[in-house]
Amino acid sequence: MSALLTKIKEAKEFIQNKSKIKPRIGIILGTGLGGLAEEIEDRDVIPYCNIPHFPISTAPGHKGNLILGRLSDKQIVAMQGRFHFYEGYSLDEITFPIRVMKFLGIKFLIESNAAGGMNPDFKIGDLMVITDHINLTGNNPLIGPNDEQLGPRFPDMSEPYNKRLIELIRKIALEEGIELHRGVYVGVTGPNFETRAEYKFLRLIGADAVGMSTVPEVIVAQHSNLRVLGITCISDECFPDTLKPVDFRKVIQGAKKAEPKMKKLVKRVIEKI
Ligand code: HPA
């Protein structure tokens, strides 16, 4: 057994000793979806710092708990707070919780995040379902020895975001009267926001929104054969010609605008999964 697999199993056993929930759906509560944590019923809250081999979250606005419970009558596991490359963790560390959730039994992963909108049709507070991504972190969580028990050496990436889930959330958004864009998310490392020239470049290569998370997690989710749904709230507008200085507090405010819509969509998606 690889060292990674041993660690995953230790974390999994610890969690299963603390909770009877058998989750089929994992959710990463990023900026803009944190409030969903309060709506999880019969919840068992496990601080990351207690779970063997879990990193500890340092990013402002991000809490650090694994929550097992019920949402829309389904058994789920949620990450309240995620880990970012810019905090100094390796991509292995950042994505370790995804591997643990897979071993807890999840088949579906719902990713949420806040990102800068580069598509001129997007406004602050809008939502976008991620149809594809570009990994511009200059790194990859799968570099290193591959454990075939966890996934293939060369995972396919032709459909990193599940088409059926994209169609499902679009249908729900239409029913609810919530505007939902579709688009490509480009993942960068941060922590600085981009220059005008970088936004121009990212738009040119086909991205609609840019953010500092999600991509490494989705690569590992694919390696783990999970079906992924990714939802982005547009927290700031990144139009090179009219760019204003962006500050982190404004980004959080922008994400908060989208939170009620995001919560509604995610709860309804879970109901239908
Ligand atoms: N750039 C990168 N990451 C982000 C941004 C941005 O403009 N907004 C929120 N996350």
Average pLDDT over residues 69-89: 94
75 within 8 A of 23, measured Cβ to Cβ:
yes
pLDDT for res 52: 96
Tokens matching residue 237: 């507008």
Counting the structural domains of the chain, the total is 1
CB 258 within 8 A of CB 126: yes
CB atoms within 10 A of CB 177: 7
How do residues 26-57 score in pLDDT, each as one tens digit?
999 988 788 899 999 999 999 999 999 998 76
Predicted pLDDT of residue 124: 94
**Ligand 1 neighbourhood includes 214 CB (under 6 angstroms):** no
pLDDT at 58 over 70: no
The per-residue pLDDT for 252 is: 86
Ligand 1 contact, 185 CB (< 6 A): no
Surface-to-core class of residue 229, CB atoms within 10 Å of its CB (0-12 exposed, 13-18 middle, 19+ buried): buried
* pTM score: 0.95
Choice from 210, 232, 242, 247 to test ligand 1 binding pocket (greatest atom count within 8 A of CB) = 210
CA of 216 to the centre of ligand 1 (A): 16
Instruction: Specify the CATH number for the domain of residue 141.
Output: 3.40.50.1580
- Tens of pLDDT, residue by residue over 212-265, are 999 999 999 999 999 999 999 999 999 999 998 888 888 888 888 899 999 999
Residue 61 has pLDDT above 60, yes or no: no
Measured in Å, residue 3 CA sits from the centre of ligand 1 at 34
Q: Look at residue 59 and tell me whether its pLDDT is greater than 60.
A: no
Mean pLDDT of 59-73: 84
The range of the structural domain enclosing residue 26 comes to 3-272
Q: What mean pLDDT do residues 94-123 have? A: 97
% of the chain residues with pLDDT over 90: 86
